[in-house]
Amino acid sequence: MPNLNRLERQLLGHICARYNEEVNPPRAWPSLAELKRITGAHDKSISRGFNGLIKKGYAFRVTKARIGRQAEYAPNMARIKEHKVTHELPIDKEQVTVKAVIGNPTVLHGSPDSYPKPIKPIKPTTQLFIDLLSVIPKDKHFTATAEFLSLLEQVKHYGTSYNDLKAHLKVFNWFPIYAPKEFVISLLKEKLAKPPRYSSEVKPKWCGNCDEVSRKLSEWVDVPNGNGSKTQSCLVCNPYLVNKANGY
């Protein structure tokens, strides 16, 4: 769909996925919360996106939003079928470089099925980002931004958050996620908003008073709220006691 913006394409894809042909009239009624989650966009942008789709003839509004009910939409299937499904098409021929045309002689005869992608600037990346992508399905891969890389780096040094995130993403059902970067950003921010969680592999910063490896003290101390029980674990930097103090 060459003349749609990114959000419009996401919304159209989603109402196609949620289109129910069994009901009369056939339509889709995804919840606003679901649309926000998958697109990462705000209410107003989503409503603007739908208006754009309707104006450009890719969707119909079947019912208006009422109290407690989301507006219902139907994709314009006839219009969508006019377009061959290929990789993302450049908006106009000017984006195709001369070199690319030379490399694709078939483009010179008849109408081409697809154009090579225009040359893009170098993508920012880090070893950590490459590592994160290893647990994300290929079709959901995205380009990192400086903001993304900085959040990822913070999470890496935030207790076991990075390992927890990776384990979560590895078993995650990615199918309904249309905005993977925004989705991962929301998870990164969620991790950073909570106190860090530690393990015997990823320990809190050493306090300097206990044994650095075992995080034990030479003397016995009272366990906080421990009903008089004693411990040799360091209250300041033993991972177990720090987690407990943080509510884990």
Which one of the spans 85-93, 157-165, 170-178, 207-215 is the region binding Zn ion (CB under 5 A)?
207-215
The Cα 131–Cα 129 span in angstroms is 5
Which one of the spans 10-18, 109-117, 132-140, 202-210 is the region binding Zn ion (CB under 5 A)?
202-210
Instruction: Report, in Å, the least distance between residue 160 CB and Zn ion.
Output: 18
Instruction: Report, in Å, the least distance between residue 208 CB and Zn ion.
Output: 7
- Tell me which of 210, 239, 241, 242 binds Zn ion, using CB under 5 A: 210
Instruction: Output 185 or 245, the one with its CB closest to Zn ion.
Output: 245
Instruction: Output 26 or 224, the one with its CB closest to Zn ion.
Output: 224
- Site for Zn ion contains 53 (CB under 5 A): no
- Site for Zn ion contains 241 (CB under 5 A): no
Give one DSSP letter per residue of the chain, joined into a string: -TT--HHHHHHHHHHHHT-BTTSSS-BB---HHHHHHHH---HHHHHHHHHHHHHTTSEEEEE--BTTB--EEEE-HHHHHTS---SPPPSSGGGS-HHHHHH-GGGGSS--S-PPPPP-PPPP--HHHHHHHTTS-GGG-----HHHHHHHHHHHTSTTHHHHHHHHHHT---TT-S-HHHHHHHHHHHHHHSPP---SSSPPPP-SSS-TTT-EEEEEEEPTTSTT-EEEE-TTT-HHHHHHHTT-
- Site for Zn ion contains 207 (CB under 5 A): yes
Instruction: Output 7 or 235, the one with its CB closest to Zn ion.
Output: 235
- Site for Zn ion contains 12 (CB under 5 A): no
- Number of residues binding to Zn ion, judged by CB under 5 A: 5
- Tell me which of 74, 144, 177, 237 binds Zn ion, using CB under 5 A: 237
- Tell me which of 234, 239, 242, 243 binds Zn ion, using CB under 5 A: 234
- Site for Zn ion contains 235 (CB under 5 A): no
Instruction: Report, in Å, the least distance between residue 178 CB and Zn ion.
Output: 46
Which one of the spans 129-137, 147-155, 166-174, 237-245 is the region binding Zn ion (CB under 5 A)?
237-245
Would you call 69 helix, strand, or coil by DSSP?
strand
The Cα 65–Cα 46 span in angstroms is 13
Which residue ranges make up the site for Zn ion (CB under 5 A)?
207, 210, 234, 236-237
